[in-house]
Amino acid sequence: MKNPLVLALSLCIACTLCAGTLHALDELYVGLGLELNSNSQENPAVAAGGNLSAGLKLDEQFDVGIKIGFSHDFNELGVLELQGLFRYQLPVSISGLFVQAEMGVAILFYESNSYPAFIGGIAAGWRIFPGGDKWYLEPTIRIGYPFIWSVGITFGIPISIKGEE
C-alpha cells in the first residue's frame, strides 16, 4: 500500500474484526490533548501543539483508534500527524498503565512547501480518573520518527456503548 495511514487504519479494522463482533465492544473514548515534541529544526528543538484522539476499547487489555495532531515550532516548521493506534493495557496492579503503537503519515509544512513522511512511534502513559468515571487525564511520553520525543497530556471522555442485555 502506498499510503501508511490507509495501512494503519486497515490494521485497526482487522484487529477490531478479529477481536469479536461490534456488539461485544463496551466503550468508545474521545480525547483532546496538549503536547511538546521535537518537531523543530531550531535550538532548542521544541515544538508545541495538540491532538484529537478517538478509540474503541476492545476488551480489558486492547484498544484501537485514531489520532490527529498538529504542532509548530513557532518559527518555520509545522507538522500535521494522522495516525492509527493500537493500545495494550498493562496487566499490573496499578490500573490505567498502557503502551501504545502508533503508525501513519505526517505532513511537514516548511516555508511555503509541504512534504509527506511516514510517522511511527511507541507511547507509554497512564489513564487516571480524578473526577470519577465521567472523564480522564492521560499523561504520556512517546518516542519515534520523525519527532524523536514527545510529552503530553490528554483530557478525555469515555462513552459507554454497551447495550442493555
Between 59 and 33, where is the model more confident? 33
What integer is the mean pLDDT of 119-147?
A: 95
| Complete domains list, the chain, with CATH | 4-160 (2.40.160.20)
All three cell numbers of 62, joined, read 486492547
* pLDDT value of residue 15: 56
CA distance 6 to 83: 9
* pLDDT value of residue 4: 58
What integer is the mean pLDDT of 41-69?
A: 91
What is the per-residue DSSP string for 18-67? HH--GGG--EEEEEEEEEEE---SSSS--EEEEEEEEEEE-SSSEEEEEE
Residue 1 pLDDT grade (very low, low, confident, very high; cuts 50, 70, 90): very low
**pLDDT (tens digit per residue) in 72-121:** 998 889 999 999 999 999 999 888 999 999 999 999 999 889 999 999 99
Residue 64 near residue 12, CB atoms below 8 Å: yes
All three cell numbers of 1, joined, read 500500500
Angle at 100 between CA 81 and CA 25, to 5 degrees: 100
